[in-house]
């Protein structure tokens, strides 16, 4: 049975707690993150993931999906909180917030919990700094049926409000793992797995590359790319031809191009 309460003041400790989840240090301490919007929360519910706390704006319009969320939270014994829309705006940091937000427990992101045979393609990002790019890669993974996204070294926080929002709900559909390079490569070489890097070092054209499942497609930092030793450890290095003045694609875009090409190759195999 869910507990219910209504918040009417900005100084309420719960408001301060919810606002604190916009900062990484507080998310890490609480092991919780915030997701906003009926669509995101519905995607989570349909994946069997229910928020521990459902936060809703008073005076919101009724919606059957919102009713389903309330029922799911109630069945899980969670908490339902209502507050004025201007207070909710303080919580989310948006002037025009969605009418609903949820507090979720952070996922287990250990690389040891990844089942590499769960999908033919996995996305890997090294030192990805932009939360928008990170969220976009999660969304791409969902679109191509990838198993998930593996973050290597010091990446943006996948549980930040910006990354969660950019994922468009894919943070709930994709497996997420975080590891240092040494930990990742040791895990990868324990079993089957082809590591493919987007690279300019002795590459193969991405359309002619012999992709093999399970295929781990790796992109590097937005400005510096992958370290040389990481590229040299890969089974395959591929390049995407650039026909204009730009010398490279955005990291998330490059990951998407490679993912669709690899998927098409594997589907033909």
What is the pLDDT, as a whole number, of residue 227?
93
Q: Rounded to two decimals, what is the model's pTM? A: 0.91
Q: SS3 string of 64-96?
A: HHHHHHHHHHHHCCCEEEEECHHHHHHHHCCCC
Domain(s) labelled CATH 3.40.1280.10 in the chain stretch across 111-268
Q: Is the pLDDT of residue 199 over 70?
A: yes
Instruction: Tell me the C-alpha distance between 262 and 226, whole Å.
Output: 20
Q: What is the pLDDT of residues 209-246, one digit of tens each?
A: 999 999 999 999 988 889 999 999 999 999 887 777 66
Could you give the percent of the chain with pLDDT greater than 90? Answer: 74
Q: Is the pLDDT of residue 150 over 70?
A: yes
264: how many CB neighbours lie within 10 A of its CB? 13
Architecture in CATH of 111-268: 3-Layer(aba) Sandwich (3.40)
Domain(s) labelled CATH 3.30.1330.30 in the chain stretch across 3-105
Q: What is the pLDDT of residues 85-123, one digit of tens each?
A: 888 888 887 766 668 899 999 999 999 999 999 999 999
In this structure, of 6-10, 25-29, 129-133, the range with the lowest mean pLDDT score is: 6-10
* Distant-in-sequence, close-in-space partners of 216: CB < 8 Å, separation ≥ 6: 122, 123, 124, 150, 188, 193, 194, 195, 196
Sheet holding 3-7, edge to edge: 3-7, 79-83, 53-57, 100-105, 32-36
In this structure, of 104-108, 183-187, 223-227, 259-263, the range with the lowest mean pLDDT score is: 223-227
Q: Which fold has domain 3-105?
A: 60s Ribosomal Protein L30; Chain: A; (3.30.1330)
Choose between 242 and 84: higher pLDDT: 84
Averaged pLDDT of the chain: 91
Q: Is the pLDDT of residue 259 over 90?
A: yes
In this structure, of 124-138, 178-192, 218-232, the range with the lowest mean pLDDT score is: 218-232
């Amino acid at each position: 049975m869910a507990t219910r309460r209504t918040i009417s003041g900005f100084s309420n400790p719960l408001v301060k707690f919810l606002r604190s989840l916009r900062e990484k240090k507080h998310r890490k301490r609480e092991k919780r993150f915030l997701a906003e919007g009926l669509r995101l929360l519905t995607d989570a519910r349909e994946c069997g993931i229910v928020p521990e706390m459902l936060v809703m704006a008073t005076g919101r319009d009724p919606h059957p999906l919102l009713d389903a969320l309330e029922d799911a939270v109630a069945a899980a014994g969670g908490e339902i909180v209502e507050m004025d829309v201007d207070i909710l705006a303080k919580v989310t940091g948006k002037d025009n917030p969605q009418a609903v937000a949820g507090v979720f427990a952070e996922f287990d992101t250990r690389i040891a919990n990844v089942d590499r045979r769960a999908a033919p393609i996995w996305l890997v990002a090294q030192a990805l700094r932009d939360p928008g790019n990170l969220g976009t890669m999660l969304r791409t993974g969902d679109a191509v049926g990838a198993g998930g996204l593996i973050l290597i070294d010091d990446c943006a926080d996948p549980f930040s409000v910006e990354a969660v929002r950019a994922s468009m709900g894919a943070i709930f559909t994709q497996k997420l793992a975080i590891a240092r390079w040494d930990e990742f490569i040791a895990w990868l070489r324990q079993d089957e797995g082809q590591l493919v890097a987007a690279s300019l070092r002795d590459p193969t054209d991405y359309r002619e590359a012999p992709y093999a499942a399970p295929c781990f497609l790796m992109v590097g930092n937005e400005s510096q790319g992958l370290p040389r030793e990481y590229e040299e450890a890969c089974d395959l290095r591929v390049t995407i031809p650039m026909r204009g003045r730009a010398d490279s694609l955005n990291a998330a875009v490059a990951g998407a191009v490679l993912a669709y090409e690899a998927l098409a190759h594997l589907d033909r195999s």
